Structure 1
Amino acid sequence: MGERNPRFDRFFDRDTPWKAEKKRLREIVLDHPLTEELKWRQPVYCHAGGNVATIDGLKDRCVLSFFKGALLTDPEGMLEPPGPNSRSARYAPFTSLEEIDARADALHAYLDEAIENEKRGLSPEMPPDDLDLPEELAAALDADPALAEAWAALTPGRRRGWVIHVSGAKQAKTRTARVEKAAPRIRDGKGFHDR
């Protein structure tokens, strides 16, 4: 039913941790009307041009991630935010094929709901960003009008990523160095996670 991209067969056949689990998740995902596309150097499953899900192997688990997972009803209570600063994404973690197979029906339901949400053009409501600009970033934006203009043109998520990255440094000199290193990428319209 899904549009399998043969280029990704090698990706899933590589001898990596969680190989069997990732292949099983791929089978489940491709039971749905999704296309398999290359984004961020990994397969992303899309519907009508919108990103729906991705599969990843982490150190201690394999996950099926939903880009707009915060919209999902999650009756099984199995979705988790990938990190403390996650606003929209949610993932279902697994540590075995048996666990994936036991929850396959729930995964199919989550995928159906995610696709329906994409068809309807839904996006999670994001509360106003509650992150304050680090002093060093605010000073750099005040001193450089071109950088400030580029900053204003970034998406809220990209700005949030930079704020979290710069704020994560404990020392002022490290925050300043991060701002200096980030400035060219900000001018190019890139977020912290963009390549």
Structure 2
Amino acid sequence: MKYSKSIDEYIENNSEWLEEITTLRNIMCSTEMKETIKWGAPTYTIDGKNVVGLGAFKSYVGIWFHQGVFLKDQKNKLINAQEGKTKGLRQWRFSSLSEIDEDLVLKYVQEAIQNQKEGKEIKPEKSKTLTIPIELDRVLTSDTDLKKSFDQLTPFKQKEFIEYIATAKREATRLSRLEKITPMILEGVGLNDKYR
């Protein structure tokens, strides 16, 4: 496998974990997975699907199994970092090089690759349909240009505008917010684009 320059940079930026990250990276690169950077960290994929990620933090280096919930985990190495929130992702943490059993890590990784090939994955839940606040609905119904512009926005941007209006408790606030966002919708600008 060819090594990625940006991952070399990631390792340089986390030099306190140099040996640990390099060891884990070598394990990942010994497989058929493709190495890339996603979310600013090394990620390993099969057929474009995320299988494993690496991350360095203050007190540990971790492996993320994107569909780790399907791993047998006979050695009880995996944790759910956000109990109640995370459905498929599982983490394995190491606080020193001596904790990394290369053969065992490779065994887990190979199982994760096989699971991905078999299509074992938890799909993200479909988000609930949003109810457009009456004030926004009225304006969209009466102004065809605004409606056309709103429909051309990404679902994410539409949701931001809907929630912005819906979260106002007073009608006067909803109307003043509506007045503020109307030119933004016409320009195709999202509510929080200036912060992105």
CA positional deviation for 1:121: 1.9
2:92 maps to which residue? 92
| Residues 1:116 and 2:114 are matched in the alignment | yes
Q: Secondary structure of the equivalent of 1:18?
A: helix
State yes or no: 1:29 paired with 2:28: yes
CA–CA separation in structure 1 for the residues paired with 2:40 and 2:124:
27
Structure 2 vs 1, CA of residues 15 and 81 (structure 1 numbering), >3 Å: closer, same or farther? Answer: closer
Contact 1:3 1:34 in 2 (8 A): no
Which deviations, in whole Å up to 9, do the C-alpha atoms of 1:21-52 show, x marking residues without a partner? 11111111111111111222222111121111
The alignment yields a C-alpha RMSD, in angstroms, of: 4.1
CA distance in 2, matches of 1:97, 1:138: 53
CA distance in 2: counterparts of 1:58 and 1:74, whole angstroms: 23
Percent of aligned pairs sharing the same letter:
25
Structure 1 unaligned residues grouped into runs of 5+:
167-171, 189-194
TM, length-normalised to structure 1 = 0.63
Q: Deviations over 1:72-128 (max 9, x none)?
A: 111111111121311111010110000013xx2221111111111111222137788
In 1: Cα distance, 2:9 partner to 2:121 partner: 33
3-state secondary structure, aligned to 2:11? helix
What pairs up with 1:156-195 in 2 under 5 angstroms? none
Letter in 2 for 1:25: L
* Structure 2: distance between partners of 1:51 and 1:186: 30
Shift of 1:10: 2.8
Q: Partners of 2:123 and 2:50 in 1: how far apart?
A: 17
Gaps of 5+ in 2: 141-146, 175-180, 182-188
Aligned match of 2:60: 61
Query: Matched residues in 2 for 1:186 and 1:106: separation?
Result: 48
Shift of 1:138: 7.8
Q: Residue 169 of structure 1 aligns with which residue?
A: none
